Amino acid sequence: MKVLGIETSCDETGVAVYDTALSGVQALRAHAVYSQIALHAEYGGVVPELASRDHVRKLLPLIRQTLAEAGLSTRELDGVAYTAGPGLVGALLVGAGVARALAWALELPAIGVHHMEGHLLAPLMEDDPPQAPFVALLVSGGHTQLVAVEEIGRYRLLGETLDDAAGEAFDKTAKLMGLPYPGGPQLAKLAEAGTPGAFKFSRPMTDRPGLDFSFSGLKTQVLLAWRDSDQGETTRADIARGFEDAVVDTLAIKCQRALDAAGSDVLVVAGGVGANKRLRAKLQDMAQRRGGRVCFPRPALCTDNGAMIAFAGALRLQAGQHDDAQVKVTPRWDMAQLSPVAPA
């Protein structure tokens, strides 16, 4: 089954073709992502109306480009998958409208995919994918969650952030130190030059039981340290390193607790912060010490992309699931509401 995936939940336009007749990394026939970073940079954050308009401009050319790279015509597709939520309602409607129109014109089944389920399943596109049950850490600009995956489509929330998501904390911390938008990747790069231990920040909510997160207080600690410093480049790098170490350690501690609680030694990590090198190394070390494994998607598939939507949609379409012709999106959507994916 060749499935076209469309992702337009926020500020990236993603398109991909996933072929279930192939396996591992070969199954992803082609994928492309257009980022709106330059468009939103002058505003210091995503402007929803501008994001929606840019999806309108970019989506159809990106679909043509991706199909050409896959060596396919629209008539050779077997299904269409699109992000139906959560996300910005206007942006979601662009992708849903195009996907539903294509499916209707080509007489193909189509399905709306949960954005976070797409992220969660992205590591399963790699060679030697993990088998459920396992624990998933979903860590991005909008979400920080620990989820027990009992089977694909059956998810149980173990813990989540009570305020800022980890990626959001990265971005806000970078902004208060004067780094350009988007700040998270800039801060992580700057931290590579920082001295470990020069600034020591707390590991929030690790001194008590539980699997929830909170990063707003950590952000305030960094703000106070920055204001009281000489604000030089060396200090900026040292603070960035101290902040990154605090976030990484916090995530690792909570992941270990979640694995213990779920009785598992398999951890899946997905979302934009999953590309962070220090986080990957920390979790690899933790998994090795436990005699388990940790699975990541390739860095290009950590941020929003059409590949994860094509893959998640293909699993459900193969199982006989599809939606009616209504153009419908769900900007706020609890992943626990999803139905299990029956065996194909």
Residue 141, annotated as binding a ligand:
yes
| 8-state DSSP, 213 | B
Q: How many CB atoms lie within 10 A of CB 26?
A: 10
Q: Which residue, chain included where needed, has tokens 């991706």?
A: 66
127 dihedral zone (left: phi>0; alpha: psi -120 to 50; beta): beta
What is the average pLDDT across 114-120? Answer: 97
Local confidence band at 24 (pLDDT 50, 70, 90 cut-offs): confident
Contact 172, 163 (CB under 8 A): no
User: Tokens at residue 276, please?
Assistant: 């962070």
Q: Which residue, chain included where needed, has tokens 């410093």?
A: 229
- When divided into structural domains, the chain yields a total of 2
Q: Which domain holds residue 9?
A: 2-122+301-337
* Statement to judge: residues 259 and 318 lie in one domain: no
* Statement to judge: residues 264 and 187 lie in one domain: yes
Q: How many CB atoms lie within 10 A of CB 285?
A: 12
* Statement to judge: residues 216 and 100 lie in one domain: no
Distance CA 201, CA 209 (A): 19
* Statement to judge: residues 100 and 168 lie in one domain: no
Contact 320, 342 (CB under 8 A): yes
Give bridge partners of residue 268 from the DSSP assignment. 136, 295
What is the average pLDDT across 92-100? Answer: 98
* Statement to judge: residues 117 and 174 lie in one domain: no
pLDDT for the residue 343: 55
* Statement to judge: residues 24 and 146 lie in one domain: no
Residue 115, annotated as binding a ligand:
yes
pLDDT digit string, tens, across residues 239-294: 999 999 999 999 999 999 999 999 999 999 999 999 999 999 999 999 999 999 99
Q: pTM for this one?
A: 0.95
Residue 138, annotated as binding a ligand:
yes
Q: Please report, rounded to a whole number, the percentage of residues in the chain having pLDDT higher than 70.
A: 99
**Does residue 344 sit within a domain?**
no
Question: How do strand 2-7 and strand 12-19 relate by DSSP bridges?
Answer: antiparallel
Residue 184, annotated as binding a ligand:
yes
Please give the helix or strand (H or E) that residue 156 lies within, else none.
Answer: strand 154-160
Q: How many CB atoms lie within 10 A of CB 224?
A: 9
Distance CA 273, CA 252 (A): 13
Exposure pattern of 41-73 as b/e (b: 16+ CB <10 Å)?
A: eeeeebbeebbbbbbeebbeebbeebbeebebe
Q: How far is CA 292 from CA 124, 232, 285, in A?
A: 16, 42, 10
Residue 50, annotated as binding a ligand:
no
pLDDT for the residue 141: 84
Distance CA 113, CA 85 (A): 7
* Statement to judge: residues 176 and 284 lie in one domain: yes
* Statement to judge: residues 87 and 139 lie in one domain: no
Residue 55, annotated as binding a ligand:
no
* Statement to judge: residues 227 and 168 lie in one domain: yes
* Statement to judge: residues 219 and 313 lie in one domain: no
Residue 304, annotated as binding a ligand:
yes
What is the average pLDDT across 23-39? Answer: 95
User: Helix axis angle, 166-176 relative to 233-262, nearest 10°?
Assistant: 170
Distance CA 344, CA 143 (A): 30
Q: Is 128 exposed, middle or buried (0-12, 13-18, 19+ CB in 10 A)?
A: exposed
User: Tokens at residue 24, please?
Assistant: 């591992």
> For the CA atoms of 218, 219, 224, 228, what is the dihedral angle to 10 degrees?
110
* Statement to judge: residues 56 and 81 lie in one domain: yes
Residue 183, annotated as binding a ligand:
no
Q: Which residue, chain included where needed, has tokens 């910005």?
A: 88
Amino acid present at 218: L
**Does residue 237 sit within a domain?**
yes
**Does residue 51 sit within a domain?**
yes
pLDDT for the residue 344: 45
Residue 140, annotated as binding a ligand:
yes
Residue 142, annotated as binding a ligand:
yes
pLDDT for the residue 182: 87
Contact 43, 175 (CB under 8 A): no
**CATH number, residue 96:** 3.30.420.40
**Does residue 127 sit within a domain?**
no
Distance CA 170, CA 45 (A): 13
What is the average pLDDT across 38-47? Answer: 93
128 dihedral zone (left: phi>0; alpha: psi -120 to 50; beta): left
What is the average pLDDT across 318-331? Answer: 95
Contact 308, 314 (CB under 8 A): no
Contact 183, 233 (CB under 8 A): no
pLDDT for the residue 250: 98
pLDDT digit string, tens, across residues 181-230: 889 999 999 999 999 999 999 999 999 999 999 999 999 999 999 999 99
pLDDT for the residue 142: 85
**Does residue 343 sit within a domain?**
no
